[in-house]
Structure 1
Amino acid sequence: MGQRLCLLRGRRPERLATVLRQVLSPLDDAAVMNAVSPRLTEALSALGRPVHGWSGRLTRKARHLSGLAKTHTMDALSVGHLDHESGDRIVRFAGQVLVAKATERGSYARTTPDRHGFPRLHRSRIKQHFGYVTGDLVRAVVPSGKWAGTWTGRVSVRARGQHSVTTPRGRIDVFHERLRPPQRGDGYEYDSRAESRPSKKEVDGGATRS
């Protein structure tokens, strides 16, 4: 490596400058994983347990041969050896998948600035009001009015007790007495979605795993 750098310094200094910039720049996520995976495998193997690695290239190949869509769930099903020639097949697919999304737990900032950056108002250090904190999943029962009905969503608390609840139709203001907490905020937002399923032709021509 040292000899190559010396040759670049003498013959192609502009190329040497490019190489040095690349050395100092951080690696991309995929490059980091490619560099760390062999070291991690070695460290885990030293514990005396069998460790088997599986590359993304092999996962992509197995998914393609199975005729599966590019999703996290289908990628997970495609990890591991499948003997396509002997008739191995993936025969069970998830219809619904759970999606977890990291959410904020609030802000450390004690002021809210205006568009010029000057403090516009001060935020309270107390985050819990009337038993609720921003981010809790609540069920609101509104007996009458424009928003009459039962609504479920994340709550933004207010010190006066009239909290704001985010619903699929918009935000509504509800007094805390009409709220019930199905789930306390834990820093994540949970949802479910339908998983992409291959066609019957793709299933018949693909691999099998149960």
Structure 2
Amino acid sequence: MEHIIPKSRGGTDRVDNLCLACHDCNQRKGSKTAEEFGYPHIQKQVKETLKDTSAINSTRWKAYEVLKQTGLDVECGTGARTKMNRIRLDLPKTHYFDACCVGESTTNHLYFKTKEVLFIKAKGRGSRSRTNLDRYGFPRGYLARQKFFFGFQTGDMVKAVIPRGKYQGVWFGEVACRKTGSFDIKGKDGKRIAQGINYRYVQVIQRFDGYAYGKGVAELA
């Protein structure tokens, strides 16, 4: 039996988190999820866990008590009140509008100065695995042991000013580094927009901090 989501990453021994696997696949999979190991269709069979909800329910009142000790004004609100405020203000159900509707102090009118929304996604800072695998589990390239190359690391937000060649122009995006000094630039959709760029044409805008950032447009009703 094999854990679809490893126990080391929050998985459990529940039946819906188990599947059959041979010994060799079990060893190669290690601490990867089924999707990372090349079996996304098996990953989809797993029911969505409520571990994040459980963590919030276990800690929310402790967080409230600690915040009260600061002497600041702290206000609580229920999910029902948030929903009522959101419906009253005729706003779509999104995380950013829910944040505007929490608690009794929500005003009768909300005025938004911008339609832009900042999206933040946790990506982590890499893994212990030094090998990329294809969909069948076979090695597909090896990762370097070092993270920094010529002062850059993969994931840095950069600006590239390329004076000539196929990618001549100014490019903004996420950099993918190689030890040769030939870098790639990825756009906000994760696709390469410039490839094989010399590191001398690249300058850092923001260091990689484990999160991916993007902008979107608010879904106003």
TM-score by length of 2: 0.63
2:166 is aligned with 1:146: yes
Give 1:134 deviation, angstroms: 0.6
In our comparison, the structure showing a higher alpha carbon Rg is 1
Tell me which residue corresponds to 2:123.
103
Deviations along 1:40-88, whole A, 9 cap, x unmatched? 545655x4856432111110011101111112222122112259xxxx5
From the superposition, tell whether residues 41 and 161 of structure 1 become closer, same or farther in structure 2 (CA, over 3 Å): closer
Which whole-Å CA distance do the structure 1 matches of 2:140 and 2:105 have between them? 61
Asked if 1 retains the 8 angstrom alpha-carbon contact of 2:174 and 2:186, the reply is yes
1:155 paired with 2:175, answer yes
Q: Which residue does the alignment assign to 2:6?
A: none
Structure 1 pair 197–29 and aligned structure 2 pair: CA distance change class (3 A)? same
Indicate if the aligned counterparts of 1:93 and 1:197 stay in contact, CA closer than 8 A.
no
Query: Residues 59, 106 of structure 1: CA spacing in aligned structure 2 closer, same or farther, 3 A cutoff?
Result: same
Q: Give the counterpart letter for 1:159 in structure 2.
A: K
Residue 87 of structure 2 aligns with an amino acid whose one-letter code is H
Percent identity of the aligned residues? 35
RMSD, aligned CA: 3.0
Structure 1: 5+ residue stretches without partners: 1-20, 199-210
Whichever structure has more helix as a proportion of its residues is 1
**Cα distance change of structure 1 residues 110 and 39 upon mapping to structure 2, 3 Å threshold:** closer
Q: Which has the higher contact order (CA 8 A, sep 6+)?
A: 1
Q: Which residues in structure 2 correspond to 1:93-132 (within 5 Å)?
A: 93-95=112-114, 96-113=116-133, 117-119=137-139, 121-132=141-152
Distance of 2:147 and 2:66 partners within structure 1? 43
Q: Which amino acid aligns with 2:159?
A: R
Structure 2 gaps of 5+ residues are 1-13, 15-48
1:108-161 residue CA offsets vs partner (Å, 9 max, x unmatched): 212334555454544321111111111111111222333221111111111111
Report the count of equivalent residues: 169
Distance apart, 1:163 and its partner CA: 0.9
